[in-house]
Copies of this chain bind each other. A is one copy, B any other.
Amino acid sequence: MRVDLNADVGESFGACTVGDDGALMPAITSASIAAGFHGGDPTILRATIRLARSAGVAIGAHPGLPDLAGFGRRDMALTPREVEDLTLYQVAAVAGVAAAEGVRLQHVKPHGAFYSRAVHDRAWADAIARGVAAIDRLLIVVGPAGSALLDAAREQGLPTAAEVFADRAYQAEGALLPRNRPGAVLTDPAVVVPRAIRMVREQAVVASDGTVVPRAVETICVHGDTPGAAALAASVRAGLEAAGIEVRALRAP
């Protein structure tokens, strides 16, 4: 059994620090790096790519909505064309900076509301998949199994990776509990670690009411901006490995 462990990183901006990427990096196998629209800036992007490279962590682009003030977590009424062009621009920027640092992108994972919307909105999912495919047809699109996003990616001939969230609660029908609801974000390693192990072993997510929802699990996310994310990710990794689950990137770097 094996799984990838990913986190969102490079989301600091100017004087503002989001997460502790230096501490987080050794624990993960794939890093989704902000492209400057919901977080990140050119200097932080490059520094984060170097950090990931040094840690042997595979790199992906983490495109977001153009809403720095809302950290890309507020849905916006964009047209499919805007969605496609935003994806293309952001993936191009991250891929180009990574190439300048000698690294090839492994994956693309949309951020926040860009991701949530693409889970169920096929027009957005298609637009994102077209934007990714226009850059490089070997890029792996990361999203939940069964989502419009992964369907659209496959239709564009792109490889996919099915993701679950170790640090987020799920609803009975398998959707994430929204962030503004109590208990939506899980931070206790005693809860999160066994949860992650079970997700991989059973290839399923467990909803807040106990419902077990079958779901392919190829990569597990720990959010980089969750308080204590670095320690949590390290615990998840240690727990997975202790349970005999190999933790490695989606694709060999």
Asked whether A155 is an interface residue with its Cβ less than 8 Å from the other chain, the reply is no
Contacting pair B42 A88 (CB below 8 A): yes
* Chain B hits for A86, CB < 8 A: 42
Contacting pair B76 A74 (CB below 8 A): yes
- Choose one: B11, B36, B45; the contact of A15 (CB below 8 Å): B11
* Chain B hits for A71, CB < 8 A: 14-15
* Chain B hits for A73, CB < 8 A: 15
A168 to B97, CA, bound (A): 34
- Choose one: B76, B95, B96; the contact of A75 (CB below 8 Å): B76
**Copies of this protein, total:** 4
Q: How far is the CB of A80 from chain B (nearest CB, A)?
A: 11
Q: Across the two chains, which residue of chain B brings its CB closest to A112?
A: B15
Q: Across the two chains, which residue of chain B brings its CB closest to A11?
A: B15
Asked whether A243 is an interface residue with its Cβ less than 8 Å from the other chain, the reply is no
A12 to B14, CA, bound (A): 11
Output the residue of A16, A45, A75, A81 with the most chain B CB within 10 A. Answer: A16
A94 to B100, CA, bound (A): 14
Contacting pair B45 A89 (CB below 8 A): yes
Binary interface encoding of chain A residues 74-105 relative to chain B, with 1 for a CB under 8 A from any of its CBs, else 0 = 11111001100110111111111101110000
Given contacts A15-B71, A96-B135, 7 further A-B contacts (CB under 8 A): A13-B69, A14-B71, A42-B89, A43-B85, A67-B76, A88-B97, A93-B96
**11 A-B contacts (beta carbon < 8 Å):** A15-B18, A15-B71, A15-B73, A42-B90, A43-B81, A68-B68, A70-B78, A88-B96, A88-B100, A92-B94, A92-B100
